[in-house]
């Protein structure tokens, strides 16, 4: 089966053959030494011109403008773009002008990666450029880059801005849309800033299993696989919570992990089946301490990134300045629906859902019904950072009961721009009560709730050895990155978001 090639792809393969016939290796193996980059040249040349005479840099050809015996081109490396000035007599000082007339003018294409040597100068139009004295092909591009096309109103309408193309071929997106690379650089900065805060607080970064015999730590539908040698099912983790709490039992005072978690659920603008979460647990603390710490953490991250706590998000401005607003879940529901659901049983909650026009399933227990009411009618109203606190006990099987309020637990979720960003508890450390909570989840499984928790007997055994009072939190790194990089979809902050299978056309299908 042969893959359909475009006319340009066929032409580029012919050029590759011509290069080989000229004895030019279009994919050389030897090192090309680099001592300069485009951004440094553009930012510092005018202040220190003497140090920009014997330079060597490499990058991708992004444009070419033929001027006969000379040519202007633009090269793009990992930092920025820079104009090149290529003159035939400089790169071909002998009578043999083959390298310029044949190779540079005919066989090098936009998208090819080249290495160049030369010196920096400023053109008559004031543009900082590299005067090339030698060049070398480092990699021949056999596919052409998409070209930005615009309509009469200046709107682009091809692959350059098409999400389907950009997410599926992220490597091309990164080449032609430099701002996308900036998003992912900021993502790394966000994680490094968090690491610094946690390390300074004395927490230890750890790793826990991705393949688990029991998918614990969250209410979610898992991915299932099979281990042949052990002849047993295994699950991709839905959370790392129970393993991190085992480490608190083992004697660590604070642990954290940036974890890849997996949930076999729907995909939309804020959900991807594979996602990154930060979880950390600190012994001898509670959810009140964790709220204070989380405020300081996110304020520091925003300031590190932008030198201000105010972040632009579309037409909105999100202010990460502590302290954040705090409101109980019951009060939030009463404020936005008019119903006081505290003390209601399952049947009464179903009636409220009906009056509010919220669709519910027979498998949903009291906790799921309350969660649906809050999600449908309340969550979107919280744009500025807000802690929703004191959740019903039915919604929180791993959380300690509230010390002074009956029927609720010491839990908070941080809502920003109408979406959950973090979820935290005063952790339940009573093994007998934890077993009862797991057994309630098992009853929900029997009713058909495929997101209900499993009973993790080893975790219960760990608790029986004694876990100190502990505060724990999970922060969605993907959603936090969306907020801090002014992106409205999770796909924009994942290098390779999950996509539907791509259909590949073959020559046979075309014919």
Condensed to tens digits (0 to 9), the pLDDT of residues 292-342 reads 999 999 999 999 999 999 999 999 999 999 999 999 999 999 999 999 999
Number of domains in the chain: 3
Question: What CATH number corresponds to the domain at position 479?
Answer: 3.30.930.10
Phi, psi of 501 (to 5 degrees): -55, 140
**Residue 358 maps to a domain:** no
Q: Which helix (H) or strand (E) holds 73?
A: strand 70-76
Condensed to tens digits (0 to 9), the pLDDT of residues 378-434 reads 999 999 999 999 998 888 888 999 999 998 999 999 999 999 999 999 999 999 999
Domain co-membership, 43 together with 105: yes
Domain co-membership, 430 together with 302: yes
Across 359-407, the runs of DSSP E, i.e. the strands, are 386-392
Using the predicted structure, report yes or no on whether residue 1 has a pLDDT greater than 70. no
Domain co-membership, 269 together with 309: yes
**Residue 498 maps to a domain:** no
Across 175-300, the runs of DSSP E, i.e. the strands, are 204-205, 211-212, 224-227, 232-236, 254-262, 274-283
Across 302-378, the runs of DSSP E, i.e. the strands, are 310-313, 316-319, 325-328
**Residue 368 maps to a domain:** no
Q: What pLDDT is stored for residue 61 in this prediction?
A: 96
Q: What pLDDT is stored for residue 153 in this prediction?
A: 59
* Per-residue DSSP letter, 27: S
Condensed to tens digits (0 to 9), the pLDDT of residues 158-215 reads 567 888 899 999 999 999 998 999 999 999 999 999 999 999 999 999 999 999 998 8
Of 416-420, 448-452, 460-464, which range is least confident? 448-452
Domain end (from 176, 193, 227): 176
**Residue 27 maps to a domain:** yes
**pLDDT bracket for residue 157 (50, 70, 90):** low
**Residue 349 maps to a domain:** no
Query: Can you tell me whether residue 190 is helix, strand or coil?
Result: helix
Query: Can you tell me whether residue 94 is helix, strand or coil?
Result: coil
Using the predicted structure, report yes or no on whether residue 510 has a pLDDT greater than 60. no
Domain co-membership, 183 together with 171: no
Work out the mean pLDDT of the chain and round it to a whole number.
91
Domain co-membership, 395 together with 273: yes
**pLDDT bracket for residue 451 (50, 70, 90):** low
Determine the Cα–Cα distance for residues 197 and 304; give it in Å rounded to an integer: 11
Q: What pLDDT is stored for residue 508 in this prediction?
A: 45
Domain extent, residue 26, equals 7-139
Domain co-membership, 71 together with 31: yes
Residue 260 to residues 100, 245, 275, Cα–Cα distance (Å)? 50, 17, 6
Domain co-membership, 220 together with 200: yes
* Per-residue DSSP letter, 51: G
Of 220-234, 350-364, 410-424, 496-510, which range is least confident? 496-510
Domain co-membership, 116 together with 18: yes
Apex CA 384: angle with CA 219 and CA 314, to 5°?
A: 100
- Cβ contact 198:256 at 8 Å: yes
- Cβ contact 119:53 at 8 Å: yes
Domain co-membership, 436 together with 287: yes
Determine the Cα–Cα distance for residues 406 and 277; give it in Å rounded to an integer: 31
pTM, to two decimals: 0.89
């Amino acid at each position: 089966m042969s893959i359909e090639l475009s006319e340009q792809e066929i032409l580029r393969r012919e050029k590759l053959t011509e290069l080989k016939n000229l004895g030019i290796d279009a994919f050389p193996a030897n090192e090309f030494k680099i001592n300069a980059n485009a951004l440094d040249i553009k930012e510092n040349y005018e202040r220190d011109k003497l140090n920009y005479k014997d330079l060597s840099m490499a990058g991708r050809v992004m444009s070419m403008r033929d001027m006969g015996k000379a040519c202007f081109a633009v090269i793009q490396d990992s930092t920025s773009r820079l104009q090149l000035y290529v003159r035939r007599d400089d790169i071909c000082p002998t009578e043999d002008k083959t390298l310029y007339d044949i190779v540079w003018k005919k066989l090098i294409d936009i998208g090819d990666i080249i290495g160049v040597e030369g010196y920096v100068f400023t053109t008559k139009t004031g543009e900082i450029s590299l005067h090339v004295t030698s060049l070398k092909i480092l990699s021949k591009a056999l596919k052409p880059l998409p070209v930005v096309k615009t309509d009469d109103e200046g709107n682009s309408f091809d692959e350059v801005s098409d999400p389907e193309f950009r997410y599926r071929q992220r490597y091309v997106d990164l080449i032609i849309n430099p701002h996308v690379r900036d998003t992912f650089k900021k993502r790394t900065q966000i994680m490094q800033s968090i690491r610094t805060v946690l390390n300074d607080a004395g927490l230890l970064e750890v790793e826990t299993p991705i393949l688990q015999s029991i998918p614990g730590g969250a209410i979610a539908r898992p991915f299932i696989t099979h281990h042949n040698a052990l002849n047993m099912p295994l699950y991709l983790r839905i959370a790392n919570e129970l393993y991190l709490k085992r480490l608190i039992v083992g004697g660590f005072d604070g642990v954290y992990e940036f974890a890849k978690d997996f949930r076999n659920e729907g995909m939309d603008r804020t959900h991807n089946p594979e996602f990154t979460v930060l979880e950390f647990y600190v012994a001898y603390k509670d959810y009140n301490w964790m709220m204070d710490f989380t405020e300081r953490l996110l304020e520091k991250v925003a300031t590190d990134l932008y030198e201000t706590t105010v972040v632009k998000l579309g037409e909105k401005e999100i202010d990460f300045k502590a302290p954040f607003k705090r409101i109980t879940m019951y009060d939030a529901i009463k404020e936005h629906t008019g119903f006081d659901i505290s003390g209601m049983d399952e049947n009464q909650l179903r009636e409220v859902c009906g009056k509010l026009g919220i669709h519910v399933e027979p498998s949903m227990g009291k906790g799921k019904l309350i969660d649906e009411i809050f999600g449908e009618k309340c969550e979107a109203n919280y744009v500025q950072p807000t802690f929703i606190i004191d959740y019903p006990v039915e919604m929180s099987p791993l959380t300690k009961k509230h010390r002074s309020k009956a029927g609720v637990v010491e839990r908070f979720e941080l809502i920003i721009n109408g979406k959950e960003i973090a979820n935290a508890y005063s952790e339940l450390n009573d093994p007998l009560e934890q077993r009862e909570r797991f057994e309630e989840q098992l009853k929900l499984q029997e009713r058909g709730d495929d997101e209900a928790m499993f009973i993790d007997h080893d975790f219960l055994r760990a608790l029986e050895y004694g876990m100190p009072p502990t505060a724990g939190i999970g922060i969605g790194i993907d959603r936090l990155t969306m907020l801090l990089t002014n992106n409205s979809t999770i796909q924009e902050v994942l290098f390779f978001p999950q996509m539907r299978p791509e259909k590949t056309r073959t020559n046979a299908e075309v014919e």
